[in-house]
């Protein structure tokens, strides 16, 4: 048998206490990553979901205790403490007010995010997709240290090598009509989305809605990507009628028309990993079933009764849409599959 690799989708429950401090967050990341690689037969990729790093902005701002009352409560606390500072920063730097607010919090939050995942990558020896958060472009330079080089804020995902180094940043292109359009995010550009060589193959990241757009998948396939990771956070009941087609429910849409369907017939893309965030930090209540899927050369109909199996292109799926889970699948390295 050739080289086997572990592909794992982490489905964590959003909990306010995990953002109480940098140490609590780092311990939580390491625990989840360690669970995901347990018993892995070879190189591993562990993917965390969209929005996983977002509450770190409240940790950096010293109001994470307000997360017990939800994201909006924490945001109001930040505004009361820092609103005047944000206004002065926006005027001084000629930035948008919302960009100034993010920039004021970004350095501390970014350091917590990257430190936690660098530690987990080194400890587990895995390639990690660190989920996403709302961040401007933050960079390190010897003379200036960590600083904001572009204040425009993206829903940004990071990819870590087993060494703990950040090897790719993937900004989200397509923003949702709700939260993302209201909180001052900028759209990424298709040409900025990277494909990276890793021990589990050539990996690309499409944040949530981007993975539904086939021209995004086409770009990755054309660049030779073999594994597509789609960090997601779905703010809708898994059982509600799907708004574009009420004949099916939300779960049937994700599983029948999402990443699994996007991989059909691709030239290079073979595997898809879709980690989803579950739980509640008001106003967001999130549900989803994380999956690991495999390319099929032709469309395969959805199974009767929802019993998804490898023959349908689903190698692994979370037990339910509201509980914490880790979906881990061992597969042949994509370089060794005809």
pLDDT in tens, 221-270: 999 999 999 999 999 999 999 999 999 999 999 999 999 999 999 999 99
CA separation for the pair 204, 215 (Å, rounded): 14
- Residue 36's CB is within 10 A of a number of other CB atoms, namely 26
Domain count, the chain: 1
What DSSP string describes 237-304? -TTSEETTEEEEEHHHHHHHHSHHHHTTT-SS--EEEE-EEEEEETTEEE----EEEE--SS--PPPG
pLDDT of residue 164: 98
Is the pLDDT reported for residue 306 higher than 80? no
54 phi/psi in degrees, rounded to 5: -55, -45
Is the pLDDT reported for residue 116 higher than 80? yes
Contact between 251 and 289 (Cβ < 8 Å): yes
Residues 41-80: pLDDT tens digits?
A: 999 999 999 999 999 999 999 999 999 999 999 999 999 9
Contact between 227 and 219 (Cβ < 8 Å): no
Contact between 138 and 112 (Cβ < 8 Å): no
Buried b (16+ CB within 10 A) or exposed e, 123-149: ebebbbbbbbbbbbbbeeeeeeeeebe
Q: Domain holding 214: CATH number?
A: 3.60.110.10
Residues 6+ apart with CB under 8 A from 135: 53, 102, 106, 109, 110, 153, 154, 156
CA separation for the pair 327, 131 (Å, rounded): 15
CA separation for the pair 92, 104 (Å, rounded): 13
Averaged over 101-108, what is the pLDDT? 96
pLDDT of residue 125: 98
Nearest to 132 by CA among 90, 100, 173: 173
pLDDT of residue 305: 73
What range defines the domain where residue 282 resides? 4-336
pLDDT of residue 338: 63
Torsional sign, CA 292, 298, 302, 306: negative
């Amino acid at each position: 048998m050739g080289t086997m690799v572990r592909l794992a989708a982490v489905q964590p429950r959003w909990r306010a206490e995990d953002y109480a401090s940098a140490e609590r967050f780092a311990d939580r990341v390491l625990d989840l990553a360690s669970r995901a690689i347990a018993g892995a037969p070879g190189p591993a990729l562990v993917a965390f979901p969209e929005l996983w790093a977002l509450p770190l902005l409240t940790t950096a701002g010293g109001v994470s205790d307000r997360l017990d009352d939800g994201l909006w409560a924490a945001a109001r606390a930040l505004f009361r403490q820092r609103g005047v500072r944000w206004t002065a920063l926006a005027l001084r730097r000629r930035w948008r007010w919302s960009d100034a607010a993010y920039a004021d919090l970004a350095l501390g939050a970014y350091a917590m995010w990257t430190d936690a995942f660098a530690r987990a990558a080194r400890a587990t020896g895995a390639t990690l997709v660190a989920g996403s958060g709302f961040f401007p472009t933050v960079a390190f330079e010897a003379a200036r240290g960590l600083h904001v080089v572009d204040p425009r804020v993206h829903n940004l995902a990071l990819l870590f090598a087993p060494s703990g180094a950040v090897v790719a940043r993937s900004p989200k292109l397509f923003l949702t009509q709700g939260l993302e359009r209201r909180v001052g995010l900028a759209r990424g550009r298709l040409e900025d989305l990277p494909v990276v060589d890793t021990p589990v193959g050539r990996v690309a990241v499409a944040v949530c809605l981007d993975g539904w757009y086939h021209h995004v998948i086409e770009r990755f396939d054309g660049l030779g990507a073999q594994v597509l990771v789609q960090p997601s956070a779905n703010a809708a009941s898994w059982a509600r009628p799907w708004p574009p087609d009420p004949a099916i429910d939300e779960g049937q849409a994700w599983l029948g028309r999402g990443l699994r369907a996007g991989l059909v017939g691709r030239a290079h893309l073979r595997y898809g990993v879709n980690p989803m965030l579950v739980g509640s930090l008001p106003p967001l209540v999130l549900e989803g079933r994380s999956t690991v899927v495999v390319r099929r050369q032709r469309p395969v109909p959805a199974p009767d009764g929802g019993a998804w199996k490898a023959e349908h292109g689903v190698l692994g799926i979370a037990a339910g849409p509201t509980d914490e889970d880790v979906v881990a699948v061992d597969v042949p390295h994509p370089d060794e599959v005809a």
